[in-house]
Amino acid sequence: MHLTWRDQPAPAVDVMPGHTSINATSGQIETTPLADAVLDAARALGRDLASKGAAPPHIRTLTISTTDPKSFEAALPEIGLLYREILGGNFGDIALVKGDSFNFTAVAHIPPVSKEVVFMDYDRAELSAEYSPRISVPEAPQIMAAWRVDGTEHQKTRSAEVSYGTDTAHKIDLYLPKGIKAPPLHVYIHGGYWQALDKKDNGHLCRNLVEEGIAVATLNYPLCPPATIGDIVTDCRNALAYLYQTAEQNGYNGEWITISGHSAGGHLVAMLAATHWPQIDPDLPRDLIKGTVSISGLFDLEPLRHIGLNNALRLTEDDARTLSPILLNLVSNAPFIAAVGGAESEEFRRQSLDYADHWRDRRKDIDYLELPGLNHFTAVEALADTDSPLYKKVVELAKPKV
């Protein structure tokens, strides 16, 4: 979260022709501590936006009123993550002012309604609904809040935190099984539409993998905005290269690395499977990855260019082409599983099925796995269910073949 103005409300912003400007507010928030107040304010602001026909991507300016601006500024890194958890990377320009109470006030510009088809048979509103799992799963905020609480507690059990870059966005949590020398490594990449969440938020879902004797690494990466998806792909490649190169000193087997990721993380692991590693570093093996599992992944980014989400992602037509795994060569010759919840939207299911179908004619080790009854958020929770076919597939891939 970046502050554009301090000690003054956000100024008026010109409205584009045909757009409608609305004001939305969280109302006065009495909650403490500050982290809880931010979450309550973001949720309330989201509800008010929705009641007026707007959504987070329509936010142009945000004015934050607080009785203690200095404390707010000191906590900006944590506050930014919490705000993203509820409203994504849709900040607009932000003003911080001293006031008598804590509240968020936003100005949003709503584009005109159009039934023009923008992708396949979808108009913009229909396409946005297909790619808005938080709208279709009303309990999503509670699920994600539980992830944060459980993940934070589980993070206390990590064996180490290591760095593959210069800041907190380039950190990795390592969880090593006890009593096992050089265990195989499974790398998990979180989702959040490239805009939200943290490496701790799903780490607890991999707890049973560690108990199976598998080392687990959970990655952080820079978020959009200000990062681009291309930046994130590059950083995830650097992270995986680092994990391979430092295997011995970190205590796991670098010769058997498998990967999984959820949603945006599902896209990122597919991009890693499309990476020619010797081009990154001549000392990296072509078969660095021994198995890939994409959960609710995104393999074709073109539809995202046509919805409000792209205000934060800033994808160009060329970006969508070069960053869509379905348009790239699957360099990894290891098994690939495209898993998706049976209760997810048609587009999320199509993305995984299309990717699997695209490669199955040429590769016999590409599987489509639909998880009956699971939505976009409960699908990844299957990683923690030892009876789930997803869990069993991950364990099967993650254990070295004799």
Token output for 304: 């995202």
Query: 5-112 and 140-398 share one CATH topology?
Result: no
Any residues with CB less than 8 A from the CB of 376 and at least 6 apart, and which? 133, 136, 137, 140, 263, 296, 341, 344, 345, 348
Share of the chain above pLDDT 70, in %: 100
Asked if the model's pLDDT at residue 208 lies above 90, the reply is yes
Q: Which fold has domain 140-398?
A: Rossmann fold (3.40.50)
Separation between Cα atoms, residue 25 and residue 179, nearest integer Å: 54
Q: What is the CA radius of gyration of the chain?
A: 21
Domain boundaries, the chain: 5-112, 140-398
For the stretch 148-193, pLDDT in tens is 999 999 999 999 999 999 898 999 999 999 999 999 999 999 999 9
Instruction: Please tell me the pTM assigned to this model.
Output: 0.96
Residue type, position 282, single letter: P
Q: What are phi and psi of 389, to 5 degrees?
A: -60, -30
Q: What is the CATH number of domain 5-112?
A: 3.30.1330.40
The pLDDT of residue 91 is 87
- What does the block give as tokens for 148? 């944060």
Tell me the per-residue pLDDT of 57-72, one tens digit each, with 9 for 90 and over: 999 999 999 999 999 9
At 135 the pLDDT is 87
pLDDT digits (tens, 9 = 90+) for 332-344: 999 999 999 999 9
Q: Which two tokens stand for residue 163?
A: 């760095």
